[in-house]
């Protein structure tokens, strides 16, 4: 059962891999802040009554990040890139979307995530993870394979502005008649997707992502289209490691525009806990055990950094 894994032990396991920087996030530690707006399309109103899609501009605070707890992670690292969005709706309510630049996650249950952290824990003798433990992890956790295969065949992006971001989990959309539709979504960059070449991986350096985003927003808003996929019966609802069939049609339901970016220190995104269960009326979680487990885990990380630990 999923209840055997506690949020506390997962945070401890993350800290055992990466250490802990006082006052900072335990995961996605390296990141940048941005601000902008989201304009939804009424095309979504068939599925959701959320005010996100009224057509009015909704202010957004965003954070772009590298996954992992290393505050000095190189921007060429073969790891996830994150996009976290906080929408402020006209009635004052908040909505969060906390996404990654990959279509699937590497754990169907919190236990797999915990086991991965345990396998990644550096061996005191070498300062590196024990290759045997990593091999054992891969062999014993088939749910980690789809993400592993995706990461192996996709280089990291040249810029956050050239990355697509997926919501990964399935969510429930509720319309005015209280009808439920299971959906997934991704944000597709209007600048186009672009990955680092093998040469660029060697020459790009460790810290180009923040600079590229700041410079890009100075030339004008950087935009992503929100593409919605409507599930059909039989599509996996509660497993974020399983992609939906690629032939499912996508509907454009809105556009995100980021107008300005800055380092995270002291900026608006720094103090936000981008808990993915912060949801406004018209959007609700599925029973995906990973989605539900994220909330208590983020709360512990947030509490630690708030209190300066």
- Point out the residues that are catalytic: 28
Residue 21 to residue 259: CA distance in whole angstroms: 30
Q: Is 185 in the site for ligand HEM (CB under 6 A)?
A: no
For the chain, how far is it from start to end, CA to CA, in angstroms? 31
Residue 59 to residue 56: CA distance in whole angstroms: 10
Q: Is 217 in the site for ligand HEM (CB under 6 A)?
A: no
Q: Is 66 in the site for ligand HEM (CB under 6 A)?
A: no
Q: Which of 65, 101, 111, 262 binds ligand HEM (CB under 6 A)?
A: 65
Number of residues interacting with ligand HEM: please give it, by CB under 6 A.
29
Q: Is 36 in the site for ligand HEM (CB under 6 A)?
A: no
Residue list 262-301, contact with ligand HEM (CB under 6 A): 273-274, 290, 293-294, 297-298, 301
Number of other CB atoms surrounding residue 43 within 10 Å: 13
Q: Is 85 in the site for ligand HEM (CB under 6 A)?
A: no
| Least distance CB 96 / ligand HEM (angstroms) | 9
Indicate the residue among 50 and 98 with the shorter CB distance to ligand HEM: 98
16 class by beta-carbon count within 10 Å (0-12 exposed, 13-18 middle, 19+ buried): middle
Q: Is 68 in the site for ligand HEM (CB under 6 A)?
A: no
Residue 282 to residue 116: CA distance in whole angstroms: 34
Please say whether the beta carbons of 226 and 187 come within 8 A. yes
Q: Is 13 helix (H, G, I), strand (E, B) or coil?
A: helix
Please say whether the beta carbons of 157 and 101 come within 8 A. yes
Indicate the residue among 114 and 204 with the shorter CB distance to ligand HEM: 114
| Least distance CB 65 / ligand HEM (angstroms) | 5
| Least distance CB 60 / ligand HEM (angstroms) | 13
Can you state the angle between helices 131-140 and 110-120, rounded to 10 degrees? 160
Tokens of 227: 């593409």
Residue list 109-148, contact with ligand HEM (CB under 6 A): 110, 113
> Which of 191, 248, 188, 245 is CA-nearest to residue 222?
191
Indicate the residue among 254 and 275 with the shorter CB distance to ligand HEM: 275
Q: Is 95 in the site for ligand HEM (CB under 6 A)?
A: no
Q: Which residues contact 260 (CB under 8 A, 6 or more apart)?
A: 34, 35, 36, 217
| Least distance CB 289 / ligand HEM (angstroms) | 9
Q: Is 63 in the site for ligand HEM (CB under 6 A)?
A: yes
Residue 230 to residue 218: CA distance in whole angstroms: 35
| Least distance CB 62 / ligand HEM (angstroms) | 8
Tokens 């945070």 map to which residue? Answer: 11
Residue 56 to residue 132: CA distance in whole angstroms: 54
Q: Is 25 in the site for ligand HEM (CB under 6 A)?
A: yes
| Least distance CB 30 / ligand HEM (angstroms) | 10
Q: Which window, 95-103, 135-143, 223-231, 242-250, contacts ligand HEM (CB under 6 A)? A: 95-103
Please say whether the beta carbons of 293 and 270 come within 8 A. no
* Site residues (vs ligand HEM, CB under 6 A): 10, 25-28, 31, 63, 65, 82, 84, 98-100, 105, 107, 110, 113, 168, 240, 273-274, 290, 293-294, 297-298, 301-302, 305
């Amino acid at each position: 059962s999923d209840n055997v894994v506690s949020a506390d032990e997962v945070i401890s396991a993350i800290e055992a891999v990466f250490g802990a920087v006082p006052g900072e996030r335990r995961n996605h530690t390296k990141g940048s802040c941005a601000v902008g707006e989201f304009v939804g399309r009424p095309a979504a109103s068939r599925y959701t009554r959320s005010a996100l899609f009224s057509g009015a501009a909704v202010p957004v605070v965003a954070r772009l990040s590298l996954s992992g707890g290393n505050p000095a992670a190189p921007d060429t690292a073969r790891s996830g890139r994150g996009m976290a969005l906080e929408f402020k709706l006209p009635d004052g309510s908040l909505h969060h979307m906390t996404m990654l630049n990959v279509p699937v996650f590497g754990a169907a249950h919190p236990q797999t995530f915990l086991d991965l952290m345990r396998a990644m824990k550096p061996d005191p003798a070498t300062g590196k993870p024990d290759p045997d433990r990593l091999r054992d992890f891969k062999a014993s956790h088939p749910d980690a394979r789809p993400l592993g295969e995706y990461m192996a065949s996709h280089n990291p992006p040249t810029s956050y502005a050239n990355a697509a971001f997926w919501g990964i989990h399935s969510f429930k959309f509720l319309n005015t008649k209280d009808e439920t539709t299971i959906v997934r979504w991704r944000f597709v960059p209007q600048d186009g997707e672009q990955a680092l070449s093998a040469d660029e991986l060697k020459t790009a350096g460790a810290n180009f992502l923040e600079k590229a985003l700041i410079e890009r927003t100075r030339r004008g808003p950087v935009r992503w289209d929100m593409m919605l996929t409507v599930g059909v019966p039989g599509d996996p609802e509660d497993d974020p490691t399983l992609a939906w069939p690629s032939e499912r049609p996508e509907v454009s339901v809105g556009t995100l525009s980021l107008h300005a970016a800055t380092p995270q220190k002291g900026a608006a995104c720094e103090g936000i806990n981008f808990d993915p269960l912060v949801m406004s009326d018209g959007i609700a979680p599925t029973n995906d055990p990973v989605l539900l487990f994220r909330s208590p885990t983020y709360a512990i990380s947030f509490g630690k950094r708030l209190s300066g630990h």
